[in-house]
Amino acid sequence: MIDSISVKHSSKKYLLKKFIPDNPFIRTLGIRFVEENGSYISILPFKPELIGNTEIKALHGGVTLSLLEVTALLQIQIEIKKGKRTFGNLNNLTPSIVDINVDYLRPGNAHDTFAIAKVNRLGRRFGSVYVAAWQKDYKKTVAQATVRFQILKK
Structural domains in the chain plus CATH codes: 2-153 (3.10.129.10)
**CA pair distance 75, 21, nearest whole angstrom:** 14
| pLDDT over 60 (residue 122) | yes
Q: What is the pLDDT of residue 71?
A: 92
- pLDDT classification of 33: cutoffs 50, 70, 90: confident
**HSE value, Cβ hemisphere, 13 Å, CA-based, for 24:** 0
Q: What is the pLDDT of residue 82?
A: 75
Mean pLDDT lowest among 33-42, 47-56, 115-124: 33-42
Q: Report pLDDT digits (tens) over 60-108.
A: 989 999 999 999 988 888 888 776 544 444 455 678 899 999 999 999 9
Please tell me the pTM assigned to this model.
0.81
Cα dist from 36 to 6, 110, 150, whole Å = 11, 24, 27
